[in-house]
Structure 1
């Protein structure tokens, strides 16, 4: 086990102890990451996910939501589009990645979330309002806590 994996396992242990979700940015270590997530069962979100449909499905099976950012707005990002179509609304969360996101309107990078909603709606053949509602539901399911810190 590498030192990074040992630190990650400790972070997962803390998340489990305190019943908190994790936010994970992973670019080149999907398989080792999956091994740790499958054994921990800690829920979370794969922030800025860059993998394909099959890898996204494996992370979903390991209890993770898939963070979708402005890469989706690139018409040439076919693999990313296919991943969103394979996952569907149930396991997606919208991410602005502000202020670093690509293709976001000047002045208000959060307005890019509307563009993401429209693009996802187009890919999944649903309304943008349905995308937004499901995104809110998914985020609340992962992050919303009561006054005692327990999941609502």
Structure 2
């Protein structure tokens, strides 16, 4: 079985002291495919270094995280476009809208989100969406951009069944991570109403560690806990969960 972590920040400073050991724990557990979302230009070199050290396992995205959309966001978008002209990536992400901490830059977040969707279409790439306290705002943009050339993953999905179905209507898979193991996570109550063919696994490491590691640093090896929870949710063998979700990731990312 080959597990695929479709969303993990392995270049994070949280792993600077033991990155190789952390990676080996994941590899030993069968987590062999790691898709790496971008945050902003300050992490670009760290992402390239990670790819160089694990060329067979690490697959990079490029993009501007919504919480990093500030006054200089057009410079960041220019950086992304320059990178896309220089080399290939597997997705544009993570992108979207986040109104949890600050609503100051909502207009700029919307503009950056739309611009990056259009870049994804231009380069025929999937998008990976970050949405926090902003389902209506994200769906508004997706509604205006929907089409056969729009596809990707709704990362860290934590919405309702109705919101899940709306996300799927835009050719998005649902990224399911540690939240599905939380007692108050809620999505485990309806997830079996979503076909497994529409699900991919993720950790969002070093954030959102699953039970029983909640509150600690998350690692990609803990993807096994997420998969184990889906065994209960879907009442299917672990092998089926792992094989199907990895195939789903291949369908999205093309690798």
TM-score after normalising by structure 2: 0.52
Equivalent residue number for residue 47 of structure 1? 155
Q: Any stretches of 5+ residues in structure 2 without a counterpart?
A: 1-105
In 2, Cα distance between the equivalents of 1:17 and 1:81? 36
In 2, Cα distance between the equivalents of 1:81 and 1:21? 26
In 2, Cα distance between the equivalents of 1:34 and 1:113? 28
Contact preservation (8 Å) 2:129, 2:154 = yes
Equivalent residue number for residue 150 of structure 1? none
Of Structure 1 and Structure 2, the greater strand share is in 2
Counterpart of 1:67 in 2: which secondary structure? Answer: strand
1:66-87 deviation line (CA, Å, top 9, x unaligned): 111111112333x210242221
RMSD: 2.1
1:115 to 225, 232, 249: 225
Counterpart of 2:205 in 1: which secondary structure? Answer: coil
Q: How many residues align?
A: 144
In the alignment, structure 1 residue 87 sits paired with structure 2 residue 194: yes
**What is the CA-CA distance between 1:35 and the residue it aligns to?**
2.5
**What is the CA-CA distance between 1:10 and the residue it aligns to?**
0.9
In 1, Cα distance between the equivalents of 2:108 and 2:135? 16
Structure with max Cα Rg: 2
In 1, Cα distance between the equivalents of 2:218 and 2:134? 33
Q: Any stretches of 5+ residues in structure 1 without a counterpart?
A: 146-152
**What is the CA-CA distance between 1:17 and the residue it aligns to?**
0.6
1:21-56 deviation line (CA, Å, top 9, x unaligned): 111110122122112223323111111112111101
